[in-house]
Amino acid sequence: MELTFIDRWLHILAGVTWIGLLYYFNFVQAQAMAEAGADEGGPGPAAIGKYVAPRALLWFRWAALVTWLTGAYYLMAWPAYSLGGAFSLGFGAGNLQLTSIGIGAWLGTFMLFNVWVLIWPNQKKILGIVSATDEEKAKARRVAFLASRSNVMMSLPMLFFMQASNHGIPMG
Amino acid sequence: MNPLDTVTGTLISGVVLTVILVFVAKAIVGG
């Protein structure tokens, strides 16, 4: 049981790291890069791309994986939950706790997919970690951007339902 | 225009999705 409490703690710590960096990318870095690129005579966005973005992406993608793995373990280990019950959204169980955590878990899973399948491979092209033509880079930029923005959008209900599992939803 | 192109559009989309999912959750639990 002690391991379950440590797992939950790790899940929250990794989740804060993941979503905090997601918000950094969307609310701070994207705007800063655009502004630096348009600032003639300024230092330009290169340093952000070289020194900040790769480090932020490293923490971002591994925090995402740790969040998902510790969350999946928690669903299996915590008595009120089950992995199958959560991912089947508690259908037929009449159990708000299970349905809420299940919605949160599905959203988190979509978000993890976006990080590892859409954002990271395309960011490698954008940052020059793997070679790509200008056309490929432009496409990669759009795909990574939309996947990242989709994750911001999904993070709102994901966080709502993760905490709603223990604290409820407006039922009126 | 894609609402995800702006931060405001993204946040509004997130709130709308949350409200929709609250109704979905209530339907699943109550049904």
pLDDT tens digits for B11-21? 999 999 999 99
* Per-residue DSSP letter, A10: H
| Helix then strand then coil, % of chain A, to nearest 5 | 80, 0, 20
DSSP codes joined into one string, A77-126: HSTT--HHHHHTTTTTTT-HHHHHHHHHHHHHHHHHHIIIIIIHHHHHHH
CA dihedral A54, A66, A25, A129 (to 10 degrees): 30
Nearest to A156 among B15, B26, B28 (CB): B15
* Per-residue DSSP letter, B3: G
Tens of pLDDT, residue by residue, chain A (172 residues): 689 999 999 999 999 999 999 999 999 999 999 999 999 999 999 999 999 999 999 999 999 999 999 999 999 999 999 999 999 999 999 999 999 999 999 999 999 999 999 999 999 999 999 999 999 999 999 999 999 999 999 999 999 999 999 998 876 5
Instruction: Name the region of A94 (left: φ>0; alpha: ψ -120 to 50; beta: rest).
Output: left
Inter-chain CB proximity A156 and B17 less than 8 Å: yes
Inter-chain CB proximity A155 and B14 less than 8 Å: yes
CA–CA dist A48, A44 (Å, integer): 9
Q: Which domain holds residue B21?
A: 1-31
* CA-based nearest residue in chain A for residue B28: A91
CA–CA dist B14, B12 (Å, integer): 5
Total count of domains within chain B: 1
Helix (H) or strand (E) holding A161: helix A134-167
Q: In chain A, where are the structural domains located?
A: 2-167
Tens digits of per-residue pLDDT, A48-70? 999 999 999 999 999 999 999 99
Between positions 1 and 30 of B, the ones with CB within 8 A of A are 2, 4-5, 7, 10-11, 13-15, 17-18, 21-22, 24-26, 28-30
What integer pLDDT is reported at residue A103 of this predicted model? 98
* Per-residue DSSP letter, B2: -
